[in-house]
Amino acid sequence: MNRAMIAAALLLGAAPARAETLREALADAWATNPTLGAARARQQALEQTPDVARAAGRLTASADAIGGYDHVAYGKGGTAAVTASLPVWMGGRVSSAVRVAQGNVAAGAQGLRDSEAAVLEAVVGAYADVLYSQQAVEVAGSDITLLDGQVREAQARYDRGQATRTDVAQLQAQSASAQATLAEAQGMLAGVVASYRALVGHEPGVLVPAQPLPDALPPTPQDARAQAQQANPLVHQQESNAQADAAGIDQQKAERLPTLTFGGSYGYEAGSLQPGVVSAGFGGVTLHVRLLTGGLVRAKVRQAEATHRADLFATAAARREAERSADTAWANLAAARSRILANQARMDAADLALKGVRAEYGFSLRSTLDIVIADEALRSAQLALAQSRSDVLTAQAALLRAVGRLDADTF
């Protein structure tokens, strides 16, 4: 029964035959994640807005034709005409609209960068969770194997009169506890595998522990803070929003100015009651001057100015948030690295202690309770070390995102 449970746990989430690295997981998510696909498509749509704005200042032409019956004049007949219009002067409306669109495109590009980084950070977190859960299953399975052997040994000692029934029961209880721990680890693994599959697009298999990233990470907290100010995409997004809304002020002010447009048309008209075809052409310049707007333009200008001021405050807030994210991620990474060293020493000591207790138990120098306590200490140390290694991965990803350096090639 124990072997079946362990086998099921180790096979859970192990569909691919080969092991998978973090770089491969990130590359798969980068290429196939639907959230990223949708964000990229929205950015592609946004990139068309400058051309939409430029079209308002370009030549346009259209052709129209009408056929029918006119019982008063021509009987059966029809008309056809071609009309063209060329804006000569728009008072800065087109140029300011283009600058607004370009600012929005730049802001969208930075928002896309952060969306990509957010998905990749989630992939790293899912990878770390699966890695920890797989190690938790392995630790629980090894613990069951060890305790089952210890139970058999205690039973043999009891049969020889060298141990009590209590000794056997204590080890059996510890073995049952390990079974429960394995079941819990299996359930946790199933959950994190589902999250991993949703992000990456396939089952994780047996994951390869990721290596440290000394070259990609900032060397000091001060460098992390400076890089966050310079490269954090959310800071750049707010700066681009401010530039777009500054152009929006000019766009609203341009509504006060007149426009000058050249237009022309040429067409034909024919009817069955009047022989021949009548043609006519027209060309001219249209000047449009807004005399009264009821305060609409002034209100929109004030509105645009207030929006721009809000963007400036939002940019300052984004800078502070980028610094906070970098400081927090740096502190978490430093703490996780320290925990790795401490938990490695803890595990080594706990392993040595368990081996010593088991040896001394053979000479009746230790009790069964001592074995139970030493086994729990080793299992706890192993899981703590695995958790610390996973914490380093997630802290690295958070720091790289904060400084604007998290992409598919980082790991």
Domain CATH code at residue 47: 1.20.1600.10
Which residue shows structure tokens 């009790």? 367
| Token pair listed for 188 | 């946790």
Q: Report how far residue 18's alpha carbon sits from residue 7's, in angstroms, rounded to the nearest whole number.
A: 17
| Token pair listed for 334 | 């430093």
* Closest residue by Cα to residue 207 from 132, 95, 308, 145: 132
> Does residue 411 fall inside a structural domain?
no
β-strand 277-288 against 259-271: which pairing, if any?
A: antiparallel
pLDDT for 306: 97
pLDDT band at 317 (very low <50, low <70, confident <90, very high): very high
| Token pair listed for 8 | 């099921």
- Higher-pLDDT residue of 168 and 191 is 191
* Residue 14 confidence (pLDDT) above 50: no
pLDDT for 214: 66
> Does residue 164 fall inside a structural domain?
yes
What percent helix, strand, coil does the chain show, rounded to 5?
70, 15, 20
- Higher-pLDDT residue of 312 and 143 is 312
> Does residue 33 fall inside a structural domain?
yes
pLDDT band at 4 (very low <50, low <70, confident <90, very high): very low
Instruction: Find the range with the poorest average confidence among 5-14, 40-49, 66-75, 309-318.
Output: 5-14
Q: What pLDDT digit, counting tens, does each position of 77-119 carry? A: 678 899 999 999 999 999 999 999 999 999 999 999 999 999 9
Q: What pLDDT digit, counting tens, does each position of 347-387 carry? A: 999 999 999 998 997 787 888 788 888 988 999 999 999 99
Q: What pLDDT digit, counting tens, does each position of 170-228 carry? A: 888 888 988 998 999 999 999 999 999 999 999 998 888 877 676 789 999 999 999 99
In the chain, the number of structural domains is 1
Q: What pLDDT digit, counting tens, does each position of 250-286 carry? A: 999 999 999 999 998 988 876 655 565 667 888 889 9
Q: Compute the average pLDDT of residues 69-83.
A: 71
pLDDT for 271: 62
> Does residue 352 fall inside a structural domain?
yes
pLDDT for 77: 67
* Closest residue by Cα to residue 7 from 172, 182, 127, 131: 182
* Closest residue by Cα to residue 178 from 146, 144, 145, 139: 144
> Does residue 357 fall inside a structural domain?
yes
pLDDT for 72: 58
pTM of the model: 0.85
Q: Whole domain around residue 349: which residue ranges?
A: 2-402
Q: Report how far residue 105's alpha carbon sits from residue 237's, in angstroms, rounded to the nearest whole number.
A: 10
> Does residue 60 fall inside a structural domain?
yes
Instruction: Give the dihedral of Cα atoms 17, 19, 21, 25; nearest 10 deg.
Output: 30
One-letter amino acid of 193: V
> Does residue 247 fall inside a structural domain?
yes
pLDDT band at 247 (very low <50, low <70, confident <90, very high): very high
Q: What pLDDT digit, counting tens, does each position of 110-158 carry? A: 999 999 999 999 999 999 999 999 999 999 998 888 888 888 888 888 8
pLDDT for 2: 46
> Does residue 408 fall inside a structural domain?
no
Q: Report how far residue 87's alpha carbon sits from residue 192's, in angstroms, rounded to the nearest whole number.
A: 60
Sheet holding 75-89, edge to edge: 60-70, 75-89, 259-271, 277-288
pLDDT for 171: 83
